Amino acid sequence: MREMGGDQVEEAVAGCVAALRPAVDGDWAGVKAGRLDWNCRETAEHIAGDLIAYAAQLAGRAQQAYVPFEFTLDGTDEGLDPVDNPGILHVIETTGALLVAAVRTAPREVRAFHPYPFRSANREGFAAMGIAEVLLHTHDIAEGLGLSYEPSAELADGVLTRIFPHVQPGPTPWSTLLWATGRGDLPGRAPVTDWRWNNNLVIPAGRLTLQGLSPAAARDLRLGGDGGFEWIDGGPFEGTREAAGMLVKAYEAGVHRPEWGVFALVRTEDGRAVGGMGFHGAPDEDGCAEIGYDLVESARGHGYATEALRALSEWALARDGIRSLFATVERDNVPSQAVVSRAGFTQVSADGDEFAYELRG
C-alpha cells in the first residue's frame, strides 16, 4: 500500500506555491479568502502555521496537548519589515519541508496529540491533515484572488480515505472534499455547515494495540495488499480481508462509522500485525453490535485474541446506548469458543453449525 507521507506533502505544497505565485504582486491583505472571514494573507499564514504545528507535534511526540509556541509571519516586533507575498510562499515551502521531514523520520507506531476525535494521530494522519490544510486553504486564497486551482484527484482521495472516513464518496474526490468542508455543493446532498476530520481510533490491549482501519487501508487489504501494516509470517488471514471488504462497502454506501469498523491487531513489542478484529457494522436500534475476529495462523495460541476481545468489548460497552455484544463461533472451532468465554461472553443459543455468544453491559 502506498502510504500518505512526505512525497504527498511535498506535492501539495508545490501545488500551492505554483498556484499562488502568479498573484504575488496583488494585495493579499485586502482580499477576503473565499468563504472565510480571513483575508488571503491571514489564510496563507494559517497554512504555514498549521504545517509547522503538525511537524512539532509529530517530531516532539506531544501526548497531552499542543506544543506551546506561537507562529507569526510579521517581524514588526523586532523593527523588521513585514513579510511580502513572495516571502509568505517561501515560508509555506519551508514549513512544508519541516512537516515532510517529521513524517519521514517518525516510526510508524509513533502517535502524537491531536484533539479530533480520539486525541491522537500517527504520521500518516499528520501528513493527511497537513495536506488537507494546504489544499483547502489554497483553494480559499485562489478563489479570493481569482486564480484557478485544482489539486490531483489522488491527493484529494488520499485525504478523504484517511481522515474523512465518514464521508460517502461523491462524483470526484476534489468536489467531495470541498463539499465535506463547506466549500461546495453536491447534487442530492445538503450543504455542510459544521465539520471535523476523523483520525483513526487506537485502543490499547495489553501486548497489542487495536488500530482502526481507514478506508484506504481497508481497500488495500481487500485487494490483497498489506493495508500499510507489517504482518508476521503468513500475512492477514482471509477473514480480515473479508472484513476489510465489508468496511469498504459501508464507506462507499455512506454508512461507515469509523469507531464501529475493523481494527488491525498490532504487537507493541515490534509493531507487527497479527490479526484483525472488529464489528459487523454500527450497533442496531437495540444497542447490540456483533464482533468478529481472526489471527494469522502463526499468532494463534498466544492469548492475543482474548486480550484484544476483552479490550474492544470494554471500549464498546462503555459507549452510550450500547447494551450488548454478540459473536458467533463455528461449532467445531473449540479454540475460538474458548476465546469468547475467557472474554466474558456467555453462550445463548446453538443453531446448526454455529454457537451464539453474548456479553451484556
pLDDT tens for 3-41 read: 899 999 999 999 999 999 999 999 999 999 999 999 999
Q: Is 174 helix (H, G, I), strand (E, B) or coil?
A: helix
In angstroms, the CA 217 to CA 220 distance is 5
Residue 9: all three cell numbers together: 506533502
Residue 65 has pLDDT above 90, yes or no: yes
When pLDDT is averaged across residues 229-257 and rounded to a whole number, the result is 96
Domains in the chain, ordered, with CATH? 6-180 (1.20.120.450), 202-360 (3.40.630.30)
Q: Which residue has the cell 504555514?
A: 48
Strand pairing category for 208-212 and 121-122 = unpaired
User: Phi-psi category of 331—alpha, beta or left, where left has phi over 0 and alpha has psi -120 to 50?
Assistant: alpha
When pLDDT is averaged across residues 276-286 and rounded to a whole number, the result is 97
How many CA atoms, within 13 angstroms, populate the side-chain half-sphere of residue 15? 23
ω into 117 cis (within 30 of 0): yes
Q: What angle do CA 162, 201, 98 make, to 5 degrees?
A: 55
For residue 264, what are the β-bridge partners? 211, 276
- pLDDT value at position 306? 98
What are 107-166's pLDDT values in tens digits? 999 999 999 899 999 999 999 999 999 999 999 999 999 999 999 999 999 999 999 999
When pLDDT is averaged across residues 218-229 and rounded to a whole number, the result is 97
What's the length of the chain? 361
User: Phi-psi category of 224—alpha, beta or left, where left has phi over 0 and alpha has psi -120 to 50?
Assistant: left
Helices (H) and strands (E) in the chain, counts: 10, 11
What are 295-322's pLDDT values in tens digits? 999 999 999 999 999 999 999 999 999 9
When pLDDT is averaged across residues 217-233 and rounded to a whole number, the result is 97
Residue 190: all three cell numbers together: 445538503
In angstroms, the CA 86 to CA 66 distance is 29
- pLDDT value at position 234? 81
Residue 69: all three cell numbers together: 509556541
In angstroms, the CA 136 to CA 12 distance is 10
Phi, psi torsion values for 11, nearest 5 degrees = -60, -45
Neighbour-count burial of 296, counting CB atoms closer than 10 A to its CB (0-12 exposed, 13-18 middle, 19+ buried): buried
Q: Tell me the pLDDT band of 2, cut-offs 50, 70 and 90.
A: confident
Which whole-number Å values give the CA distances from 180 to 9, 140, 149, 349, in the listed order?
A: 21, 14, 18, 44
When pLDDT is averaged across residues 235-249 and rounded to a whole number, the result is 96
Residue 127: all three cell numbers together: 501528513
Phi, psi torsion values for 255, nearest 5 degrees = -115, 10
